A and B are shown apart, each in its own frame.
Chain A
Amino acid sequence: MQIRYSLALASLLGAPAFAAGLNVSIEVPRLDVAEYHRPYVAAWIERADQSVAGTLAVWYDIKNKGNAEGEGTKWLKDMRQWWRRIGRELQMPVDGVSGATRPAGKHQVQAAEGSVQLPKLAPGAYMLYVEAAREVGGREIVSIPFQWPPAQAAQASAAGSSELGEVRLELKP
């Protein structure tokens, strides 16, 4: 997994008008397989002690085949790390967090500090995790470390090798 950092020239452009927060770009890779199902994907933030600061997004099969609990929730546990750390504490669906699975391509997740996804973060070291699990497929987890609050706008990216493409984290002071 490669991690690249680059500092944006945001400071030259003056203070940003929006609230502090972060954007995550998640690439669902196009796979050439006989039986393809869109992956379940979870993105969340952990503190240095592995406790969860916030779940940014959960994409799962929200189709409700006449079952009050939703058939798709059955496989949420396959995003194993997310499930252990926070998933099993949540009652799906979560407004502003959960949504339908996404097709191949790059997808944006935006979270403002103080929202459901991203409560106020104490200054310190954090880790962004993106975990993907695909029915009759594999599982992959990609992580990007970052410091909060960011002194200036910054970007970092990492890439998965099988179930995830590029994951890009954009920090907005």
Chain B
Amino acid sequence: MTASHPVISSVIHMKNIVRAAALACSLTAAFAAQAHNVWLLPSSTVLSKPDWVTVDAAVSNDLFFFNHRPLALDNLSVTAPDGTAVQAENMSRGKLRSVFDLNLAQPGTYRLAVINDGVFAQWKDKATGQAKRARGNPQNIASQIPADAQDVQVTQSSGRIESFVTVGKPSAIKASGKGLEMIPVTAPSDLVKGEKASFVLQVDGQPARDVEVTVTQGSTRYRDKVGEQTLKTDANGQFSITWAQAGMYWLEATTKDSKTSVANAKERRLSYAATLEVMP
């Protein structure tokens, strides 16, 4: 009988670890871009004529395999070449991925984006001194923090997850002027193995200088090393990459500043991720 005690206690211990890990996961999900790979994966990025595309959207550990969580599409925004909004159809959220269809009727480049604006708060409970946390949006975060909370820290987050699909001849991408975003210098439909491509990062419409950009080729499941490339934007917010191989690529950049729009928020964390296809 005595021998069973250590076993029981280790099981309880394990449960605590799992619970702690789950909590940590849900907290990092507030800034999901850093924790996992978040992506939109279109069935085609280049079309000869107006047609349908279907898009997978997921938060995953491997590129581009849906093996973790579906990506929430509440803030999906698809912009047509003429600037009008395109309505996604057949939107569905599975256990491991989300899916939607798009009817692309115009020639030019479509911008597919999931734009998430969030607020994260942490404080100490006055009575117990316990650490408390809450997440929400700029409108509702204040109502979640008790009036007598101590050591309140509020952080704003702004994230953009994108991909591009071009029908016929590419058209220019117009900056939204909000948050961290990428404006292609080389059209996303013109990325070719062995050729150099350039892009500009902007924060609120201004060049984002000295921002680190990581570029990772897909199919990470089939190689031992992630093999991501790290680049940095120049004084004009521009960076360039010469594609070593054809394939789907995932690009990510993060930065932070103090331009918050929420009361008490000192810091704004900005993230950007894009899926790009490179042709052989």
For chain A, the bracket of interface size reads: 10 to 19
Chain B: residues with Cβ within 8 Å of the partner, total of: 13
User: Given the known A-B contacts A84-B192, A88-B168, A89-B169, are A74 and B51 also in contact in the complex, defined by CB atoms under 8 Å?
Assistant: yes
Q: Are A73 and B169 in contact (CB under 8 A)?
A: no
- Cross-chain contact of B46 among A69, A83, A89, A139 (Cβ < 8 A): A83
Residue of B nearest to A72 (CB): B48
Q: Are A74 and B279 in contact (CB under 8 A)?
A: no
Q: Which of A69, A87, A88, A89 has the most CB of B within 10 A?
A: A88
Interface presence of A76 (CB below 8 A): yes
Chain A residues with CB under 8 Å of chain B are: 69, 73-77, 80, 83-84, 87-89, 139
List residues of chain B with CB within 8 A of the CB of A80: 279-280
Q: A77-B48, A84-B190 are in contact. List 9 more A-B contacts (CB 8 A).
A: A69-B49, A73-B48, A74-B48, A74-B49, A74-B51, A77-B46, A77-B47, A89-B169, A139-B280
Residue of A nearest to B44 (CB): A77
Shortest Cβ gap from B43 to chain A (Å):
13
Which B158-186 residues sit within 8 Å CB-CB of chain A?
168-169
Q: Are A73 and B49 in contact (CB under 8 A)?
A: yes
Chain B residues with CB under 8 Å of chain A are: 46-51, 168-169, 189-190, 192, 279-280
Q: Are A88 and B169 in contact (CB under 8 A)?
A: yes
Q: List 22 A-B contacts (CB under 8 A).
A: A69-B49, A69-B50, A73-B48, A73-B49, A74-B47, A74-B49, A74-B51, A75-B48, A76-B48, A77-B46, A77-B47, A77-B48, A80-B280, A83-B46, A83-B48, A84-B189, A84-B192, A87-B48, A88-B48, A88-B168, A88-B169, A139-B280
List residues of chain A with CB within 8 A of the CB of B47: 74, 77
